[in-house]
């Protein structure tokens, strides 16, 4: 649930606090996968909301004392969150204790931080729980060290100078700076957010598929100019040129923006169903996925390593049939499962009952997208390992899969 843009403009105008020296910009980023703990709405989070998921980042330190602007970089693009900064322990039962940001960091807040002090940053959903990445930026006199700190790419920050070259583009008639060639790791939607909220420069970004021509600034442009936030479709392996300008008029000063990748593929319950490798048709996997506990179950219908002797017989089916099961947790696009086999049973009978299942190897299930993936297996008792490409046996759940994992508002972690 996103807040309306006019509210953001008002908040950013109030936070136009130019720093006395070139700022250091740092990003903290993570992912909500739905398995997090919940707590009643914390200060600054949607009033009257039910219990909401949260994440806690401990041992956060700044490298220099002073004032920092802290902002939600994915306010319009991803999981809408509120961040809270604590100078000591965070107690979910007493969330006002040690709190340095009494109103939370909804869009952006200014806070004084001291080097050598351990802070706790708590990130909670705003109004409703939703899976997805989050990113919180810190701009101030020093960097921020934590277990989830990400260094922004060099091209996302800089300083506009009065003697920079100028162009008249759809961003305005002002100076510009070009970064490139830049290549992205994955094909998909990339999300832009202008984080220059503690500076005087309102910047605009344009992306080009060829070197920028200031005399023809519309040539080779990919997508539309992006002001406060926006998105653009990019291809992996393609060279791009990113052109930053002050919006409308020339203006010297610092700029900083976030350029977020598309969300990586992640497993959902839409991956349940039959999967197989066409060259070995007649064998395959039936999978079930339990989103609420991040667990997978796999039944592997296959055969013995060698064909049974001609004299071998089976009353039902083929004597070479083998049925293995595997289960375990998944994270993102990959499940790490343990393989089990059972023996001693008789068809539709508890007498004799099957022996307890025996764990015998591992199965890694990795999905590339909604239609394909790969299974890596290691059967310990027979020292057999390998990989199998897999694809859906039927595509009836492919549309559901796409709806669950893609679409606007789904950037990945930085």
**Same-domain pairing of 144 and 24:** yes
**CATH code of residue 63:** 2.60.120
> What letter does residue 315 receive in the DSSP assignment?
S
**Same-domain pairing of 129 and 209:** no
**Same-domain pairing of 168 and 146:** no
Examine residue 413 and state whether it is found in any structural domain, yes or no.
no
Rounded distance between C-alpha atoms, residue 156 and residue 309, angstroms: 67
- Structural domain count, the chain: 3
Rounded to 5, what percent of the chain is helix, strand, coil? 10, 45, 45
pLDDT value at residue 316: 62
Instruction: Using alpha carbons, list the distances in angstroms from residue 234 to 156, 207, 224, 241, 247.
Output: 17, 9, 13, 11, 23
- Using an 8 Å Cβ cutoff, are 298 and 363 in contact? yes
User: Which tens digit of pLDDT belongs to each residue from 21-55?
Assistant: 578 899 999 988 777 899 998 888 777 777 889 99
Band of pLDDT at residue 305, cut at 50, 70 and 90:
low
Q: Is 25 exposed, middle or buried (0-12, 13-18, 19+ CB in 10 A)?
A: buried
Beta strands in 93-246 (DSSP E): 108-113, 119-125, 132-140, 144-145, 149-150, 157-160, 166-169, 172-175, 177-182, 188-194, 203-208, 221-226, 229-234, 240-246
> What letter does residue 103 receive in the DSSP assignment?
T
Examine residue 410 and state whether it is found in any structural domain, yes or no.
no
Examine residue 174 and state whether it is found in any structural domain, yes or no.
yes
Examine residue 287 and state whether it is found in any structural domain, yes or no.
yes
Domain boundary among 151, 180, 208: 151
**Same-domain pairing of 240 and 353:** no
Examine residue 265 and state whether it is found in any structural domain, yes or no.
no
Rounded distance between C-alpha atoms, residue 304 and residue 317, angstroms: 13
pLDDT value at residue 406: 59
**Same-domain pairing of 78 and 102:** yes
**Same-domain pairing of 121 and 215:** no
Examine residue 48 and state whether it is found in any structural domain, yes or no.
yes
Query: What is the rounded average pLDDT of the residues 321-331?
Result: 85
Beta strands in 261-368 (DSSP E): 273-276, 284-290, 295-303, 321-331, 334-341, 358-367
**Same-domain pairing of 120 and 246:** no
Domain boundary among 124, 151, 178: 151
Query: What is the rounded average pLDDT of the residues 156-163?
Result: 92
**Same-domain pairing of 378 and 244:** no
Task: Classify strands 188-194 and 203-208 as parallel, antiparallel or unpaired.
Answer: unpaired
Examine residue 318 and state whether it is found in any structural domain, yes or no.
yes
Burial letters 84-106, b for 16+ CB under 10 A, else e:
bbbeeebeeeebeebbbbeebbb
Band of pLDDT at residue 18, cut at 50, 70 and 90:
very low
- 10, pLDDT greater than 70: no
Rounded distance between C-alpha atoms, residue 363 and residue 341, angstroms: 13
pLDDT value at residue 62: 95
Pick from 360, 144, 397: nearest CA to 267: 397
What's the half-sphere exposure (Cβ side, CA atoms, 13 Å) at 65? 4
User: Which tens digit of pLDDT belongs to each residue from 58-83?
Assistant: 999 999 999 999 998 887 766 678 99
Query: What residues make up the domain containing 297?
Result: 273-396
Rounded distance between C-alpha atoms, residue 389 and residue 368, angstroms: 10
Q: Is 3 exposed, middle or buried (0-12, 13-18, 19+ CB in 10 A)?
A: middle
**Same-domain pairing of 21 and 125:** yes
Rounded distance between C-alpha atoms, residue 353 and residue 370, angstroms: 39
Examine residue 369 and state whether it is found in any structural domain, yes or no.
yes
Token pair for 87? 């100078």
Please work out, in degrees rounded to the nearest 5, the angle formed at the alpha carbon of residue 240 by the alpha carbons of 200 and 182: 80
Query: What is the rounded average pLDDT of the residues 203-209?
Result: 95
pLDDT value at residue 12: 44
Query: What is the rounded average pLDDT of the residues 206-227?
Result: 95
Query: What is the rounded average pLDDT of the residues 224-243?
Result: 92
Token pair for 375? 């299974």
Instruction: Using alpha carbons, list the distances in angstroms from residue 307 to 277, 278, 322, 387.
Output: 20, 20, 12, 21
User: Which tens digit of pLDDT belongs to each residue from 327-385?
Assistant: 999 988 899 999 998 877 777 777 777 777 888 899 999 998 889 999 999 988 888 89
Instruction: Using alpha carbons, list the distances in angstroms from residue 90 to 71, 136, 354, 359.
Output: 20, 18, 50, 41
Rounded distance between C-alpha atoms, residue 1 and residue 3, angstroms: 7
Task: Classify strands 321-331 and 334-341 as parallel, antiparallel or unpaired.
Answer: antiparallel
Domain boundary among 236, 260, 284: 260
Q: What percent of the chain lies above the pLDDT cut of 90?
A: 47
**Same-domain pairing of 164 and 140:** no
User: Whole-number mean pLDDT of the chain?
Assistant: 85
Query: What is the rounded average pLDDT of the residues 140-154?
Result: 92
Task: Classify strands 221-226 and 203-208 as parallel, antiparallel or unpaired.
Answer: antiparallel
- 57, pLDDT greater than 70: yes
**Same-domain pairing of 185 and 49:** no
**Same-domain pairing of 298 and 210:** no
């Amino acid at each position: 649930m996103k807040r309306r843009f006019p509210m953001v403009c008002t908040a950013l105008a109030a936070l136009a606090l130019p720093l006395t020296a070139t700022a250091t910009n740092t990003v903290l980023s993570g992912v909500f996968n739905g398995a997090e703990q919940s707590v009643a709405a914390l200060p600054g989070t949607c009033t009257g909301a039910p219990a909401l998921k949260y994440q806690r980042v401990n041992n956060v330190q700044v490298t220099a004392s002073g004032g920092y602007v802290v902002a939600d970089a994915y306010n319009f693009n991803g999981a809408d969150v509120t961040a809270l900064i604590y100078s000591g322990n965070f107690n979910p039962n007493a969330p006002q204790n040690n709190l340095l940001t009494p109103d939370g960091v909804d869009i952006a807040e200014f806070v004084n931080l001291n080097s050598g002090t351990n802070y706790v940053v708590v990130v909670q959903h705003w109004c409703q729980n939703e899976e997805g990445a989050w990113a919180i930026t810190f701009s101030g006199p020093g960097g921020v060290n934590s277990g989830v700190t990400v260094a922004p790419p060099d091209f996302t920050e800089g300083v506009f100078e009065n003697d920079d070259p100028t162009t008249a583009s759809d961003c305005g008639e002002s100076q510009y700076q070009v970064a490139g060639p830049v290549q992205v790791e994955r094909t998909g939607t990339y999300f832009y957010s202008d984080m220059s909220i503690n500076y005087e420069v309102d910047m605009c970004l344009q992306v080009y598929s060829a070197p920028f021509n200031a005399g023809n600034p519309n040539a080779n442009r990919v997508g539309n100019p992006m002001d406060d936030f926006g998105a653009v479709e990019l291809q992996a392996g393609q060279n791009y040129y990113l052109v930053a300008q002050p919006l409308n008029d020339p203006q010297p000063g610092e700029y900083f923006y976030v350029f977020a990748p598309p969300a990586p593929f992640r497993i959902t319950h839409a991956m349940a169903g039959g999967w197989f490798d066409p060259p070995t048709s007649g064998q395959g996997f039936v999978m079930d996925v339990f989103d609420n506990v991040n667990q997978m179950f796999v039944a592997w219908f296959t055969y013995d390593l060698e064909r049974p002797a001609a004299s071998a017989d089976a009353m039902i089916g083929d004597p070479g049939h083998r049925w293995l099961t595997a289960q375990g947790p998944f994270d993102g696009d990959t499940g790490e499962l343990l393989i089990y086999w059972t023996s001693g049973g008789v068809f539709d009978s508890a007498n004799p009952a099957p022996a307890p299942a025996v764990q015998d190897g591992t199965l890694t299930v990795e999905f590339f997208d909604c239609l394909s993936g790969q299974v890596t297996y290691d059967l310990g008792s027979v020292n057999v390992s390998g990989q199998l490409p897999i694809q859906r046996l039927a595509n009836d759940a492919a549309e559901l899969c796409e709806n669950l994992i893609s679409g606007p508002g789904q950037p990945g972690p930085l």
